[in-house]
Amino acid sequence: MPQLEELKRSESEKGFKLLLIDSKGMVKRSREILKEKKVTIPLLIDSRFYSRNVLTTMYTPTTIVIDREGRLRARLVGGSKDFKQVLMNIVGSL
């Protein structure tokens, strides 16, 4: 999560938006975690499982990158120590 918070600070200069999605129905727990970790990224509650069904986000965490035209540009499953750099490379290519 710290990597996402750091990335969020560069949203406006890079021209992208971050959004967290709860698609497991664990809204209360998700909010508790975000509060504990002082995460300021908006949380979308996906009670209709759109992200799981349409974007195939079956695993947590899954990071998806959608460009300004609404096209899916990347899907990253899981995390890694170089996550921020990988994501910045993707965002930089948009």
Per-residue model confidence as pLDDT tens digits over 41-69: 888 888 888 887 887 777 777 777 777 78
Residue 76 β-bridge partners: 63
CATH number for region 2-92: 3.40.30.10
Confidence of residue 12 (pLDDT cuts 50, 70, 90): low
CB 22 within 8 A of CB 51: no
Closest CA to 61 of 74, 48, 80: 80
How far apart are alpha carbons 94 and 30 in whole angstroms?
29
CB 66 within 8 A of CB 73: yes
CB 41 within 8 A of CB 19: yes
Query: pLDDT tens across 31-46, in order?
Result: 888 889 888 888 888 8
Backbone angles phi, psi at 81, to 5 degrees: -70, -25
